Amino acid sequence: MHAVSEQGKCVASENAAGQGKNAASEPTTEQGKGATSNHAFEHSFAQAPKQEESPRSEYTPEQVSEQEQSASHAQLHESDTLLRSPLNHVDIPEQLRESMTLFLRLIRRVISEYDHSLRNVFDTLLADFVEADNYARLHDAKPWETQTSAANSATQQASSTATSQLGPSAAKSDTYTCAAFERAMNTIASLELHQAIMLARAFTTYFHLANLCEEHYRVSALRAREKDIPVSRAHNTGVSSNNDLNAAYEELSEQCGSHEAKRILTNLEFHPVFTAHPTEARRKTVEVRIRSIAALLEQRASLGGPSLAENERRMLEEIDALLRTSPIGVKKPTPVQEADTIIDVFDHTLFNMVADVYRRFDDWELGDDAGCVSPVCPAFFKPGSWIGTDRDGNPNVTAQVSRVVAEKFRVHMLETLASATRAIAATLTLDAVSTPASSDVRALWKRHVEMSEDLPARTPALSTNELHRAVLYAIELRLRATIDRKADMLYASAQDYINDLRIVQNSLVAAGAYREAYGALQRLIWQAQTFGFSMVEMEFRQHSLVHERALADLRAHAHDDESALQPMTREVLDTFRAIASIQRKSGVNAARRYIISFTKSAQHVQDVYTLARMAFACEADMPTLDVIPLFEQVEDLENAIDTLNGIIKLPCVQKRLDETNHRFEVMLGYSDSSKDAGPTSATLVLHKTQQSIAQWASEHNINLVLMHGRGGAVGRGGGPANRAVLAQPKGSVNAFFKLTEQGEVIFARYGDPVLARRHVESVAGATLLQSAPSVEALNTTAMINYQSLADELEESSKQHYLDLIHTEGFAEWFSVVTPLTEIGLMPIGSRPAKRNLGASSLDDLRAIPWIFSWSQARTNLAAWYGLGWACQQLGSLERLQSAYKNWPLFTTFIDNIEMSLAKTDIRLAERYLALGNRSDLSTLVLDEMKRTLQWVLSITGNRWPLEKRRVLGPLIRSRTPFVNVLSAMQVCALEQLRQHHDTLSAEELHDYTYLILCTVSGVAAGLQNTG
């Protein structure tokens, strides 16, 4: 096999000087003492022609390896200067560089202990890819020049300026860097398969550690920044709060007045909905080890001498285990197992984090009175979940699964509240002399005694002398009775539990024990208000077509027994019965939302209410339902107002509006709209639709809630959530922001308590500030001023995108040039990649694997395709730069695309696209990729992607060589499977596929987004 194809080669490599034998082209076949379970093959990963070496950079791993072969582990400690070289070509914060250098040294040591020759190859590949992506290469505009024509004169000028600023080194470096790239590809091509697998696992392990370093740095930076910030508004000496939520509230108060700001604050709600969408490519067992290493890194700064040595030994132990642990799980998780993701995040961060957020707000606003007076911060964080309830195209999610997951959440939440209540009771040792109980507390105690006659026997002394404490123990017992569903003592709702806590709190206040009333007890009240008894508000989702088929089946068997119905129809009916059961146990809010995928008419909403009624013999047994239309295709978004007009005329909807103060939810899908019409068109159509829906809601006196079905990737509406909120049109937020959080986004945003707190404060602050008159005026004015520009970009980008995906054979080509098939084999979620409702094309492919696949192929096509063409057709850089400067939506959109382009690599993209043997399609994609980058750089005024992003830009560039190693391995393995599938043995097919899956996991960790 020749991993280095003639198609897509860098021309410069043909002119490379000093042709010589590649020192790493014949790696040893000696297996390390930690041999993997994967077989070593006699036939190598490839037998590619060997090229002579071009001059290398100063960092020469072969030389380092020769020196270190006889070195002791102590000498390895002294090689930091050499190790820092792969990170020295970018300007990252020194603290971050130190920790990344540490982990690079440790991973090299672990690899060396496993197989010294393998570490030599690790060093060689890293050196070559560092050289291939050196500073001059990153600045050189020539590789991005379009094959057809420059976008316009402004773009040509920007490209020329960038090149001239580099000086002569840029042109000189191109020969060496391209030769280094080809040399690295040949090294990979010559690897034996078992070596490639272990190298992929090694680089994947490094990315897990690098991500940990970045997280640790962000936490340290946040803590350092807060040291110089006043503790409260009262102590403010001109320095504003570092807390985005407090800062937003101050700004809102200045613009609206304190009374209006308090009203908006009271209505504030941030509602993240955690989903089980399969975008987390990391095993749960890997997450556990990463947390262990994170704890060791946190301790390291305060250690020295033997303690520091022991810390490093334990790090090596964990890293060695990571390397030896397959990054690919044995099997896909079940929906019930996926629920553990939320429980884990709840235990590790959410439960305590939300109370910290509320308390920090109070600390700033109330100053010295915080914790002594009634709080001002509402419990605005309201988590939701689709896990175990999203049955759209997932046959693994059944009514029984929903019941089991809901019960799992309920029991865990009640146990957590019971433990927290008991912990407070244990410390509430205030006696009757110093803190007499109120009459309400005494009455509450008597009521509990009536419920359980043995209660006084359990706490004889407390019931007379420490009644507050005795009542809290009784409350704990009632919580545990609620778990077991004991009718005599159970709480009917979370509000009843909160009411009992309020009675105790008010009694403490009346007795003058203010700190005890508004300290730990207030935290518990906040936590109960936030999570209730259900932990999350479960949301059910199903495809409109399933409802249509179920109704047709029911009407065809109107006089038959239910056993005559199709299995899917019975499942639909059972789903409504499961919702009713959950509501009876955990309250209406635990499961009242029902989302309809692909809502195209008001009839689709009526279908849900009709099916819900048909599921019960008695109407009184029906659950309370808020049926939510989901508009996700461009045509449906454009017709949304007509559909909504029909929906609010339905009697069942009108009844619910009267019950909820005219509150009505609408969900917008970013994923399918982007796959349907392209990212530029989808972004602009979605924004226009939000504006129209907000205006519609105002005209019909609707208290609108918009739910944003966003993913982690740019092609699915991803990007900083706070900036997205501030860019929303007037009337579309109203102090309420709801969005989906999934996969790697959940772990990134909520995996660390400090970062989770920062994220919640940032989004909540933006949600408040979006109601400020200045923000509303800015968005409204910008939308008016740039509407014509948006219309032109939307139309031309959509057409160019559709021309590509409707090209004959595109779907087949896409599945060949990306690891789409292999991604479908990854055990990262219970949901299939397709809905399986009858289609067999891109139309039925879910957006996540569509975006995930292009990300892996290092093109990120789903994030930007069509933008460059649309800009070229517009032909006015001045208009685009004006929109970028003055329109928040366009600013955020261009910045997100710039970030997405920064994670691409055109040399590797060429290799992937060449696998499909369709030069016409490859040319379309590559030309648009270059064209889009030229326009984005011209619009932003940058010379290279993210040039002005002081931290993010260098961080992404520091990762590029490491990611490129994995991508190169992946494309070589794909070439084997695509071109030699029929001649490979079953064992070889298995192991090439396994190698690809390992690289998929590693690239996902390196790029830090999947779908």
What span, in angstroms and rounded, lies between the C-alpha atoms of 162 and 820? 36
Contact between 22 and 54 (Cβ < 8 Å): no
DSSP symbols for 199-250: HHHHHHHHHHHHHHHHHHHHHHHHHHHHTTS-SSSTT-SSPPPS-HHHHHHH
Longest Cα–Cα distance of the chain, Å, equals: 94
Question: What does the pLDDT read at residue 160?
Answer: 41
Mean pLDDT by 10 residues, the chain (1011 residues): 37 34 36 36 38 40 42 43 61 88 94 93 90 58 39 43 33 56 91 94 93 91 80 58 86 94 96 73 74 92 91 95 86 84 92 96 92 95 95 90 96 98 94 93 91 69 82 94 90 96 97 95 98 97 96 88 91 97 95 96 97 94 96 92 97 96 94 86 94 95 91 50 86 92 82 92 94 93 95 96 94 92 70 45 73 92 96 96 96 94 93 95 96 96 90 88 94 93 90 92 81 43
Question: What does the pLDDT read at residue 229?
Answer: 73
Q: What is the rounded radius of gyration, in angstroms, for the C-alpha atoms of the chain?
A: 30
The residues with which 628 forms a beta bridge, in sequence order, are: 595
Any residues with CB less than 8 A from the CB of 667 and at least 6 apart, and which? 595, 628, 629, 630, 631, 706, 707, 708, 709
DSSP symbols for 678-727: -HHHHHHHHHHHHHHHHHHHHHTT-EEEEEEE--SSGGGT-S-HHHHHHT
Tokens of 593: 């939302």
What span, in angstroms and rounded, lies between the C-alpha atoms of 811 and 103? 41
Our CA angle for 579, 581, 584, nearest 5°, is: 110
Question: What does the pLDDT read at residue 831?
Answer: 52
Question: What does the pLDDT read at residue 76?
Answer: 42
Give φ, ψ of 50 to 5 degrees.
Answer: -90, 140
DSSP, res 238 = S
What span, in angstroms and rounded, lies between the C-alpha atoms of 691 and 731? 8
DSSP, res 437 = P
Give the C-alpha distances (Å, rounded to integers) separating 474 from 86, 499, 520. Answer: 61, 14, 18
What span, in angstroms and rounded, lies between the C-alpha atoms of 132 and 304? 38
Give the C-alpha distances (Å, rounded to integers) separating 989 from 107, 425, 982. Answer: 29, 61, 9
